Amino acid sequence: MAAGQKIGVLIVDDIAETRENIRKLLQFEADIEVVGTAKTGKEAVTLAREKRPHVVIMDINMPDMDGITATELISKDVPSAQIVILSVQSDADYLRRAMMAGARDFLTKPPSGDELISTIRRAYEISRLRTAAAPMQIAVGPGGQTFAPLEGKIITVYSAKGGVGCTTIASNLAVALHTEETRVALVDCNLQFGDLAVFLNLKPQHSVIELFENAETLDGEFAASVATDHSAGFKVFLGPPTPEQADIVNAAQVKKALEFLKTRYAYVIVDTPSALTEIVLSAFDVSDKIVLVATPDIPAIKDARIFFDVIDALNFPADRVMFVLNRVDKRGGITAQNIQESIKHEVTAQLPLEERVLFSINSGVPLLIGNRSLPFSMAMLDMANKLKAGLAPAPEKEPAVVEEKGKKPAPRRLFGG
């Protein structure tokens, strides 16, 4: 915070006692100043325009204009103001509407002093990062050095059938691909039941929803502020703590945010749920590679075949799909050869059944960390190398003059052109 600058807070509640209690909780904080109090939504909008507070503490049920409408108006008129909803309504529907109207955070009545103060400071910190950061063209490194935006690659890990190992593969892939020179961002696009925080034993402070919500105005500093650092060096954009937050964002925002991340990270690895939702399709659309995971059993293979039919119907180039078998065990009786023949797509990598994978998940440490000589780890590293090689820029060729006869039409964008 700039020397002498305080966090300006506007308190909005129709009950005088609540306003007074909040003011009292804040009065001894040297870095916080209450710049106004309002007892209706309308009054809040007028005061916010006038006082330009950093943070607004907003009640929901008020006479003349409710807190959700006031939030919507203030977010539009005073975008730098971060709105924290304060309500007895623990109803998810209210909170979702408030978040969609532009609220940054919420507190349940009556908040404890600590909760209130830390929420205000966090909201302020985000507003400061967002306003301080200039539009990103040239990025500034940790040592103050500048570097041009990257042309990173987006790798989406998907399976048509759930529980076959996408999150295991995505998290180990992050370990395999991350280096000082090729930085990795791991993004949880499983917005309802994201597992990356558990797989990596990370404590979520922020979620990927904040990244997606701000897709239109992202800059490197803000993106980094909502990511969680993994001790292996890569950044993780964790799924939200509650499933209903998935409804706050749309596919276009996800697409835009992923496209932004690839200007910042050499590899953006996206973990997905096993459903062809609009959000998953938009991730496919911007992916340089889809890692399609299946296990060598009949139901998983049936689903993988359907997946190839779908992408074929959408004219998504099949060579952008890397087909990987996980939990390969020769006792199962189905070989990669059988599967290749049945699906008519090459199996690029095979990861063996490894019982220590389960232990690694339960301890929150990807197996590749500290266990590089296991057959599973060696297969993972081999797969990472094949991915890298497949994503490296192709040597320049003479442009083809004549179009081949019977060639497929150019790939159509999967989602939203």
Ligand X SMILES: Nc1ncnc2c1ncn2[C@@H]1O[C@H](COP(=O)(O)OP(=O)(O)OP(=O)(O)O)[C@@H](O)[C@H]1O
The residue from 164, 196, 238, 294 that contacts ligand X (CB under 6 A) is: 164
| 376 touching ligand X, by CB under 6 A | yes
Q: Which stretch in 157-165, 203-211, 231-239, 304-312 sits in contact with ligand X by CB under 6 A? A: 157-165
**332: number of Cβ within 10 Å:** 12
In angstroms and rounded to an integer, the radius of gyration of the C-alpha atoms of the chain is 24
Residues that bind ligand X (rule: CB under 6 A) add up to a total of 20
> What part of residues 178-197 is at the interface with Mg ion (CB under 5 A)?
195
Among 168, 207, 225, 348, binds ligand X (CB under 6 A): 168
Report the alpha-carbon distance of residue 267 to residue 265 in Å, rounded: 5
Pick from 394, 404, 326: nearest CA to 161: 326
130 CB neighbour count, 10 Å cutoff: 18
354 and 367 in contact (C-beta within 8 Å)?
A: yes
Q: Which residue has the tokens 């009292």?
A: 24
Both tokens assigned to 178: 């991350």
Cβ atoms within 10 Å of 121's Cβ, excluding its own: 16
Shortest distance, position 327 Cβ to ligand X, whole Å: 4
Name the minimum Å distance from CB 41 to Mg ion.
41
Residue 132 lies near ligand X (rule: CB under 6 A): no
CA dist., res. 66 & res. 150, Å (int): 45
360: tokens are 């690694």
3-state secondary structure of 83: strand
Q: Which of 71, 75, 127, 167 binds Mg ion (CB under 5 A)?
A: 167
The verdict on 257 binding ligand X (CB under 6 A) reads no
165 touching ligand X, by CB under 6 A: yes
Which window, 68-76, 137-145, 158-166, 401-409, contacts Mg ion (CB under 5 A)? Answer: 158-166
> In a 3-state reduction of DSSP, which class is residue 131?
helix
Query: Is 167 a residue that touches ligand X (CB under 6 A)?
Result: yes
- Which range, of 26-34, 161-169, 299-307, 404-412, touches Mg ion by CB under 5 A? 161-169
Q: What residues from 196 to 225 belong to the interface with ligand X (CB under 6 A)?
A: none
Q: Rounded to an integer, what distance in angstroms lies between the CA atom of residue 126 and that of residue 104?
A: 9
CA proximity to 257, closest of 154, 373, 133: 154
Q: Does residue 361 bind ligand X (CB under 6 A)?
A: yes
Cβ at position 141, least distance to ligand X in Å: 33
Give the one entry of ligand X, Mg ion, none that residue 36 binds, where binding means its C-beta sits below a cut-off of 5 to 8 angstroms depending on kind: none
Told to check if 263 binds Mg ion by CB under 5 A, we report no
Cα–Cα dist 147/354, whole Å = 41
Site for ligand X in 293-332 (CB under 6 A): 326-327
Output the residue with the shortest Cβ distance to Mg ion: 167
Q: In what order do the strands lie in the sheet with 289-294?
A: 228-229, 235-237, 184-188, 267-271, 153-158, 289-294, 321-328, 347-352
Q: Which of 63, 163, 243, 411 binds ligand X (CB under 6 A)?
A: 163
Q: How many CB atoms lie under 10 A from the CB of residue 412?
A: 11
Q: How far is the CB of 382 from ligand X (least distance, A)?
A: 14
Residues that bind Mg ion (CB under 5 A): 166-167, 195
Q: Catalog residues that contact ligand X under the rule CB under 6 A.
A: 159, 162-168, 190, 195, 274, 326-327, 351, 353-354, 357-358, 361, 376
